[in-house]
Structure 1
Amino acid sequence: MISIDLTGKVALITGATGDLGRVMVRTLAKAGADVVIHYNQNAAKAEELQAEVEDMGRRAIIVQADVTNGESIYAMKDAVTEQLGAVDIVVANAVIQYQWTSILEQSVEDYASQFESCVMQSVYLSKAFAPAMIERKRGRFIGINTECAMQNFATQSAYVAGKRGMDGLYRVLAREIGEHGITVNQVAPGWTISDRDRQNNTERSEGYESKVPLKRRGTDQEIANVVAFLASDLSSYITGAYIPVSGGNVMPTI
């Protein structure tokens, strides 16, 4: 029987209190991982998640950090190492939210925020956590990208620019640290159903669903399942990949 077993692994999820992050926390913990619950502002949700993980019999710690600030991430690394030991799995999920509009109307600050939270977050996480992985000859970096990076639709420019920059960084990182047994991959969700949709009864969107080959929106759990796969030994020979989880809405070509 094949199963995903993360027993003995320590996983860090940035943006862990967000719509997708919280499901990743639960899923990796169910697979056996101890979890670092990163948050920026939502301390209450972080505490709820910590209690859930501990109820599963796993260790969990809460760490507040600004992912756009290197010193803040390095301080997070020190706190995590002291309390749980070296991190085996890094999931870069946090991103700054903003109001989308046209390039001519989008503020330059929004472009900067996406670069900082998509590209520089991943740079800082790499610098903070890759050295210990290199020393141990194992590790996983998983970046949460987006189907938008392939769509390039109107009003997506700042988000797409940040995520495409992240894509380039992750592909280079995969080449640079692969020789040490570390994989670097990206999960690219489509427009995903989360708790917010369930609470507001907004799960359905006929216009969007009609364009998706599977004729439905994906769920937060389906995103977390792919993250768990990439975090596990089952994905040991996959690196440098951009994997859409979008029901076929975007399809990378060869």
Structure 2
Amino acid sequence: MVGIDLKGRTALVTGATGELGRVMARTLAACGADIAVHYNSNAAKALELAEEIKSTGRRAIVVQADITKLDDIMAMRDKVTAELGHVHIVVANAVIQYQWTSVLEQSEEDYRSQFESCVLQSVHLAKAFVPAMIERGAGRMIGINTECAMQNFENQSAYVAGKRGMDGVYRILAKEVGASQITVNQVAPGWTISERDRANGTERSEEYDSRVPLKHRGTDQDIANAVAFLASDLAGFITGAYIPVCGGNVMPGI
């Protein structure tokens, strides 16, 4: 059976200290990749995660950056390249958190934060890392989107606007860099069970679960598995895809 082998590759995961990001980082490392653990403010968690990864025999470093600022992203690229070598896999997972409310009540700043952390992060990461991928004729750009981008429920407007803008960037980037054998894809989690849910005993939601064809929420590991697949040679002919990992709760049409 063919497995996922990322040995000899370096992966950057933005927002790696988050509930989903840390499992992505661990999973990519388990597949053999060296990991750049990005954080914005949680240095302690980033260092803990990097040490955990290094204990498995992989290389890992921590990198701090404001993902909404191009200068920060460029400095992060330089640090990762100097310490781990060229980045083969970029996972854009970071997003600014905010309080959801209606369009009429949502602040302008919340729309701006989602544009900056979804759209501009994607653009900045491309500008920083894609040129070297083009030179090598290979690379993986993976964005973490959301099922919300297809649902368009009440109170989601800023988040959905940011993620739908991100979707446009990724689809166009896929066409622009495909000739260089760089794939550009998105994983769209549903409402996902994380370490916080396990600690709090909140894995089940009858209302949500009843709407999902598989009748339960997915896990952080389910999301990380999809990321690892897209990062691997097994997904070498998949690009421009938006892949929901939500038990069928949303299904893109054709």
**Normalised-by-shorter TM-score class:** over 0.9
Query: Which amino acid is 2:118 matched to?
Result: C
TM-score, normalisation: structure 2:
1.00
> What secondary structure is seen at the aligned counterpart in 2 of 1:132?
helix
C-alpha deviation, 1:198, in angstroms: 0.7
2:216 maps to 216
Q: How many residues align?
A: 254
Cα distance in 1, alignment partners of residues 15 and 25 from structure 2:
10
Whether 1:147 aligns to 2:147 is: yes
2:243 maps to 243
C-alpha deviation, 1:175, in angstroms: 0.1
Whether 1:38 aligns to 2:38 is: yes
Query: Which amino acid is 1:232 matched to?
Result: S
* 1:83-121 deviation per Cα after TM superposition (whole angstroms, max 9, x unaligned): 111100000000000000000000000000000000000
Cα distance in 1, alignment partners of residues 208 and 159 from structure 2:
19
Cα distance in 2, alignment partners of residues 225 and 113 from structure 1:
28
Cα distance in 2, alignment partners of residues 117 and 199 from structure 1:
28
C-alpha deviation, 1:127, in angstroms: 0.2
Question: Runs in 1 of length 4+ with deviation above 6 angstroms?
Answer: none
Matches for 1:92-241 after TM superposition, within 5 Å: 92-241=92-241
1:62 maps to 62
2:91 maps to 91
C-alpha deviation, 1:15, in angstroms: 0.1
Cα distance in 1, alignment partners of residues 103 and 188 from structure 2:
23
Seq. identity, % = 74
Structure 1, gaps ≥5 residues long: none
C-alpha deviation, 1:138, in angstroms: 0.2
* 1:145-183 deviation per Cα after TM superposition (whole angstroms, max 9, x unaligned): 000000000000000000000000000000000000000
Query: Which amino acid is 1:218 matched to?
Result: G
1:6 maps to 6
2:73 maps to 73
* 1:23-77 deviation per Cα after TM superposition (whole angstroms, max 9, x unaligned): 0010000000000000001111111111111011000000000000000000000
RMSD of aligned residue pairs (Cα, Å): 0.4
> What secondary structure is seen at the aligned counterpart in 2 of 1:210?
helix
Cα distance in 2, alignment partners of residues 99 and 203 from structure 1:
22
Cα distance in 2, alignment partners of residues 36 and 16 from structure 1:
9
C-alpha deviation, 1:142, in angstroms: 0.2
Cα distance in 2, alignment partners of residues 176 and 169 from structure 1:
10
Query: Which amino acid is 2:124 matched to?
Result: Y
Cα distance in 2, alignment partners of residues 30 and 211 from structure 1:
33
Query: Which amino acid is 2:46 matched to?
Result: A
Cα distance in 1, alignment partners of residues 165 and 200 from structure 2:
33
> What secondary structure is seen at the aligned counterpart in 2 of 1:243?
strand
Whether 1:22 aligns to 2:17 is: no
Cα distance in 2, alignment partners of residues 152 and 117 from structure 1:
19
Cα distance in 2, alignment partners of residues 50 and 102 from structure 1:
39
Cα distance in 1, alignment partners of residues 119 and 85 from structure 2:
26
Cα distance in 2, alignment partners of residues 10 and 110 from structure 1:
33
Cα distance in 2, alignment partners of residues 181 and 35 from structure 1:
22
C-alpha deviation, 1:188, in angstroms: 0.1
1:47 maps to 47
Cα distance in 2, alignment partners of residues 137 and 45 from structure 1:
34
Query: Which amino acid is 1:15 matched to?
Result: G
Cα distance in 1, alignment partners of residues 48 and 71 from structure 2:
27
